[in-house]
Structure 1
Amino acid sequence: MDQETAQILFHEGATMVCLDVPEGTEFGFDYSSWTAGPLFKGVKMIPPGIHFVYYSARNKQADEVGPRTGTFINFEQKSVVVRKWNPIAEELTEDGISADDVQRIQDNLKDLDRFLGPYPYEGYKKWVSLSNFITPELLDKLQPQSKRICSVTDLVSEVSNTQSRKLRKTSGSTKTSEDQDETNVSKEKDLQDNKEENAEPTSLKDAESRLPYMKVREESKIQFSKIPKQKYPPGCSPAEMTKYSIDSSYALESILCSNYKENESKILGEIQFAFICFLIGQVLDAFEQWKNLVHVMCTSEEALQNHASLFLNFISVIHYHIQETPEDFFVDILSANNFLTSTLQEFFSNLENMSSDSDLKKRGLKFRDYLTQKFKWDFTSEPDDYAPTVVDLE
């Protein structure tokens, strides 16, 4: 990059200042990551728009990298975003950073220049191809309340029955004989529970039953769209029930109507969001959502006629997902149980069945030829699910 271009980007681009990040921390921006050095203070020359920032703490004694945590941030032109490292939680946070602090840093940005790494523009086109349908409004809908996307599920334990009984408060100071009887029964129950809890477990099942009940912390949940469990309309005929059990068009229409009625292309943004959370954020649940949405799109035959523009863009989205991911990644994960090949095979079959020779049909079948040539995937043979079962009568 020449000096003139660098100067323009420095003044027009956004800046992210990261204070007190420990040396050795893995720090990433979009499609690139680095190991933070002793002088690292953030990233400069960030192109305006939505980006994914992520990091992993490092245990110097064991030389181990911790779980990955990330967040999507919408950077405005010339904006300055400030975060500070919390050594206890091992995360970047806004806590303790005032508007005056941000203004002071912004006024002295030139003094920080030598401590800021330039945004990796060599990967910017890749990032845009992976995120171009993600909007600020969609981020507000999908991101957890905490704004943190963690590779490890954030679990909390619920209070046990015994503990909840101890926390129970009695109302009033005067007890009737019935109240006293209930109190005595409660005490006996608590004594019995304590005996059972202190007794040695007699089996694995017994031991597991004594573990605290864990649930996902609400503020850490990604707010993905719900995939309808019922794939066919209520009160439909047996023929329609059979049809929509194979054709996911009703499920797709339900998702669009419930979540993206005003802008159907936002479902593509959710597909991109889920893929980034899995590929870069290392969130397994996001991979499941990505698979589910891709499956709904690929198996919606009737919807091809009504949402041609949506499916044209879907082909581009899935094309870049495949193109920008290491080949062995697909072999090891995405091709497990032939998910991707069998799902895309249904999609290409639906396109071939279209009566008109539309742009959608032409582009889809051209995409099929590209995948066949690049990955040697076979979309012509019958999937195992539809193959006849061979019965041995001997």
Structure 2
Amino acid sequence: MDPQLAKRLFEKGAIFILLDVPVGTEFGIDYNSWEVGPNFKGVKMIPPGIHFVYYSSVSNTHDVAPRTGFFYNFQPSEMIIRKWDKYNEDMLGDSVSAEEQERMESSKKELDRYLGAYPYESYKKWISLTSNLRPQFLDKLLPLNRKICSVTEFISEKSTSQSRSEAKKSRGDVKTDDTPDEQRLPNMAITPGTEIRFTLIPKQTYPVGASPEEVTRYSMDHSFVLESLLKTGYEVEMTDILGELQFAFICFLIGQVYDAFEQWKKLVRLLCMCDEAMAKHPELYAQFISTIHYQIQEIPEDFFVDIVSQNNFLVSVLHTFFENLESSTTLPTLKEKGQKFRTHLQKRFNWDFTADPDEDCPVVVE
């Protein structure tokens, strides 16, 4: 690293302190993860801005727990201190007193040898994956408890003997030894405050009271849905839809959240299925091409083959996207950028966007 850059990051970079974390715990920030050693106390020289911190406890038999993480918007020279809760095998939030915070901030130089440096060589990659993720919109998406958990948290719904008996009567439900196992399970609900608050994408693609012609047109061109969302879900900044696309991508690729993968697919499909909106919002679509380009670059090859391309999802929706772009009345500069993107994908993955999708191939159904 350039000495001047290192000096600037040491002075202006943020510090994340994690105390009492067990040896062997998996700890990471952005695209970088480590196995915690006996002297580990955190990470220094973190560039200001939004970052994703995550961790997994590891048992004595080397079994790794599900990943938990959180987004945090680090300020210049900020020091964040967290402690490890050994009982719950989790990170405690705001568990440090003001006196302890002040004491540790005054002893930065002594702490320095226990802190790992943020791998700055991967920072440009991280910036390309979060370029449209605004802190204000991030707060809108995060769960109320602000944790991103790879495994959904459930609680058993409260019930009494009387309520269970009444429920059985209303269903005509008398359980016997032959009753399927799933019917014997208690009623479960997602723990309040743990759900990621993704933007709801309407399934109906045409306006209420639409004429038959409009129903046909907007069933093929999803511009009505996109325009509606830009006025309601993304009304402050139009590019927040790309911010959510980036948020979902990070949550599923690094946070290992499957629901985020589903939201990512929905947003990609929506943006690719628009024709009118492409001509109306060329700058949004220029940024969309950049966003999806950087995301595809970062998907591990085996992950890409096994999951992202299942049912030809990306090939199918990008085929539609390039067709819409070619026939659109949008700016020539956007068409040129789209052509370069298509050429890149054809060369790297040997995808053919000139032929119509095989009729026998699986079709993505919403």
TM band (smaller chain): over 0.9
Q: Is the 8 A contact 2:282 2:331 kept in 1?
A: no
Decide which of 199, 220, 229 is 1:246's aligned counterpart. 220
Secondary structure at 1:125 match in 2? helix
Structure-2 separation of matches of 1:21 and 1:118? 18
Q: Is the 8 A contact 1:351 1:365 kept in 2?
A: no
Q: Cα offset for 1:204?
A: 4.3
The equivalences for 1:324-335 within 5 A come to: 324-335=298-309
Structure-1 separation of matches of 2:310 and 2:336? 28
Structure-2 separation of matches of 1:300 and 1:200? 50
Structure-2 separation of matches of 1:210 and 1:333? 33
Decide which of 210, 228, 231 is 2:202's aligned counterpart. 228
Letter in 1 for 2:255: G
Q: Is the 8 A contact 1:228 1:254 kept in 2?
A: no
Q: Cα offset for 1:8?
A: 2.4
Secondary structure at 2:206 match in 1? coil
Secondary structure at 1:24 match in 2? coil
Q: Is the 8 A contact 1:160 1:212 kept in 2?
A: no
Letter in 2 for 1:67: P
Aligned CA-pair RMSD: 2.1
Q: Cα offset for 1:257?
A: 1.2
- CA deviation string 1:6-62 (max 9, x = no partner): 2321111100001111100011110111100011100000000000000110011x2
Q: Cα offset for 1:95?
A: 4.3
Q: Is the 8 A contact 1:247 1:300 kept in 2?
A: yes
Secondary structure at 1:117 match in 2? strand
What residue in structure 1 maps to residue 364 of structure 2? none
Q: Compared with structure 1, are the counterparts of its residues 231 and 385 closer, same or farther at alpha carbon in structure 2 (3 Å cutoff)?
A: farther
Structure-2 separation of matches of 1:248 and 1:298? 9
Q: Cα offset for 1:339?
A: 0.2
What residue in structure 2 maps to residue 183 of structure 1? none
What residue in structure 1 maps to residue 22 of structure 2? 22
The equivalences for 1:200-239 within 5 A come to: 201-205=176-180, 207-239=181-213
Q: Compared with structure 1, are the counterparts of its residues 163 and 129 closer, same or farther at alpha carbon in structure 2 (3 Å cutoff)?
A: farther
Q: Cα offset for 1:201?
A: 3.6
Letter in 1 for 2:207: P
Decide which of 234, 242, 245 is 1:271's aligned counterpart. 245
What residue in structure 2 maps to residue 171 of structure 1? none
Structure-1 separation of matches of 2:70 and 2:152? 15
What residue in structure 2 maps to residue 284 of structure 1? 258
Structure-2 separation of matches of 1:221 and 1:227? 16
The equivalences for 1:112-151 within 5 A come to: 112-151=111-150
Secondary structure at 2:193 match in 1? helix
Decide which of 352, 355, 380 is 2:354's aligned counterpart. 380
Q: Cα offset for 1:157?
A: 1.0
Secondary structure at 1:219 match in 2? coil
Q: Is the 8 A contact 2:280 2:330 kept in 1?
A: no
Q: Identity of paired residues, percent?
A: 53
The equivalences for 1:1-394 within 5 A come to: 1-60=1-60, 62-162=61-161, 201-205=176-180, 207-355=181-329, 358-385=332-359
Q: Cα offset for 1:262?
A: 2.3
Structure 2: gaps (5+ residues):
362-366
Structure-2 separation of matches of 1:350 and 1:386? 23
What residue in structure 2 maps to residue 175 of structure 1? none
- CA deviation string 1:216-251 (max 9, x = no partner): 112110010000121100111011011111111111
Whichever of the two has the greater Rg, that structure is 1
Q: Is the 8 A contact 2:282 2:330 kept in 1?
A: no
Q: Is the 8 A contact 1:232 1:244 kept in 2?
A: yes
Secondary structure at 1:59 match in 2? coil
Structure-2 separation of matches of 1:257 and 1:4? 45
Q: Compared with structure 1, are the counterparts of its residues 252 and 357 closer, same or farther at alpha carbon in structure 2 (3 Å cutoff)?
A: closer
Q: Is the 8 A contact 1:27 1:34 kept in 2?
A: yes
Structure-2 separation of matches of 1:120 and 1:114? 16
**Structure 1 length normalisation: TM-score?**
0.87
Q: Cα offset for 1:309?
A: 0.5
Q: Is the 8 A contact 2:130 2:243 kept in 1?
A: yes
Q: Cα offset for 1:323?
A: 1.0
Structure-1 separation of matches of 2:179 and 2:22? 42
Structure-1 separation of matches of 2:293 and 2:266? 17
Q: Cα offset for 1:162?
A: 2.3
- CA deviation string 1:334-392 (max 9, x = no partner): 110000000000000001112456111111111001100110011112123599xxxxx
**Structure 2 length normalisation: TM-score?**
0.93
Q: Is the 8 A contact 1:31 1:127 kept in 2?
A: yes
Q: Is the 8 A contact 1:315 1:364 kept in 2?
A: yes
Structure-2 separation of matches of 1:386 and 1:333? 19
Structure-2 separation of matches of 1:26 and 1:357? 47
Q: Cα offset for 1:299?
A: 0.3
Q: Is the 8 A contact 2:207 2:224 kept in 1?
A: yes
Letter in 1 for 2:205: K
Structure 1: gaps (5+ residues):
166-188, 388-394
Structure-2 separation of matches of 1:200 and 1:240? 50
Q: Cα offset for 1:98?
A: 2.4
